């Protein structure tokens, strides 16, 4: 098990083994998922919708043809 400590400002360092496994670099965005008493951390992909965007899945309908077809609505 890999651990890290929480500072008085509620900050922690992501251990090197985790950074390497996720290929994290300075400036990368990470996302957390909470399931009961467990938290999952993952690297936010530069491809695809942001994790907090509930309408991000509809980006497939955001093409030039779609904008023309729905322009007058």
The gap between the terminal CA atoms of the chain, to the nearest Å, is 55
Residue 4 near residue 14 (C-beta atoms within 8 A): yes
Instruction: Give me the pLDDT at residue 43, please.
Output: 92
Burial of 11: CB neighbours in 10 Å, binned 0-12, 13-18, 19+: exposed
To the nearest whole number, what is the mean pLDDT of the chain?
A: 83
- Predicted TM-score (pTM) of the model is 0.56
Give the percent of the chain with pLDDT over 90: 55
Residue 39 near residue 31 (C-beta atoms within 8 A): no
Instruction: Give me the pLDDT at residue 52, please.
Output: 62
Residue 32 near residue 40 (C-beta atoms within 8 A): yes
């Amino acid at each position: 098990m890999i651990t890290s400590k929480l500072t008085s400002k509620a900050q922690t360092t992501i251990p090197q083994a985790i950074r390497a496994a996720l290929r994290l670099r300075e400036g990368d965005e990470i996302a957390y998922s909470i399931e009961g008493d467990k938290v999952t951390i993952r690297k936010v992909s530069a491809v695809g919708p942001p994790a907090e965007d509930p309408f991000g899945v509809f980006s497939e309908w955001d093409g030039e043809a779609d904008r023309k077809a729905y322009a007058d609505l």
